[in-house]
Structures are given as C-alpha cells and as structure tokens.
Amino acid sequence: MVITVEKDAAAGGEAALLLERSRAITVQGRDRKGRDVVRVVGSYFPARALGGRAEEALRAYLRERVLPAIGDREFVVVYMHSRVDRGGNFPGVGAIRGAYESLPAAAKDRLYEKLRYMSRLEYMWVHMDKGQLEVPDCVLEHDEELERRPLMDYGIEATESRCVYEYDAASMDTSASLHSLRCVS
C-alpha cells in the first residue's frame, strides 16, 4: 500500500513538473484594471505526455501552483488556442470544464467574466498593455495570418496547416454551401 501512495505522489509530482516546464499555464502581469492574468497556451499543454492523467494534473496544478500565486486577488484567464492539436496537446473540453468546476467557489467568484472570445490580439490589447503578457510565436504568426487573410476569421477560408486544400471562397464557381467546404479540425 505504501508503494502505491509513493508511486501516486511521484506521478503527481512528475505531472506538476511537466506542466511547470511546459509553461502551458503561467501567471503573468495584470490587465488594465489591475487583475492578475493567468495565461494558458493550448499548444504548450503536454496532453500526450500526461496521457489519461491530464484532467487530474490540470486540477492539481491549478490548486497547488496557480491559485496560491494569485492569492485573494481577482484574475482573468487568457487562453490561446493557436496550433492546438487534439492528438498532441489538447486535454479535451471535459478536462478544461472539470478543472473549472474543481475551482473553489471563492476562486470562481474572483474570476472576472467567465468567457469572452477574441479572435485577434488587437482586441485583447484593449484590455491589457502589450508588455504584460508574453505571446508565443505561434499565436503571433496566426494573428498575422488572420490579418493577411481576414476570411479565416469566419471559417470561410482554411489554412494550409489545418487542411490539405485551401479554398478561396471569392473565386469558387460552385453552388455548394460554404459550411460544407470548411475544414473542421
């Protein structure tokens, strides 16, 4: 029995170390209203390495590392989804939902706004100064791509990294709906 506890503790410590090294979840800077910012970079999340332990590792990391760093202050969460791949670095919606549900009620009360979608970095900079948040290169590259190809914002045009074929909706001669031509990852 003692060996099992030690193995479980070691596995938990290993998962925490893996999350720490990945920098998938960090507390960085403040928004313009002084709230702490919890930055979550989906493409950094080591879901494959964590295997079936992703949800529990995420819950434990939030409980043991993130919440103590925030203390009793209000906070916001910025989740960056660029280059997330279901097979490699996405823990799953259930794991994210489970992590949120596992937060103590007091922490949920301090979480400012439950969800606000922003498709571009320029919309985020309205709420915080650029120097307050480290933005990964993959997010910057995706944002630049959206700037050059605005139809991607609406799912009308696919990126090469998400699809084998690119569709240029403006030049297509077809009666098929645009929804049927979208690339869904």
Domains and their CATH numbers in the chain = 2-134 (3.40.525.10), 149-185 (no CATH)
Query: What digits encode the pLDDT tens for the residues 103-132?
Result: 899 999 998 877 777 888 999 999 999 989
The whole-angstrom separation of Cα 76 and Cα 92 is 21
User: Is the Cβ–Cβ distance between 78 and 40 less than 8 Å?
Assistant: yes
At 169, is the pLDDT very low, low, confident or very high (cuts 50, 70, 90)?
very low
135 has pLDDT over 90: yes
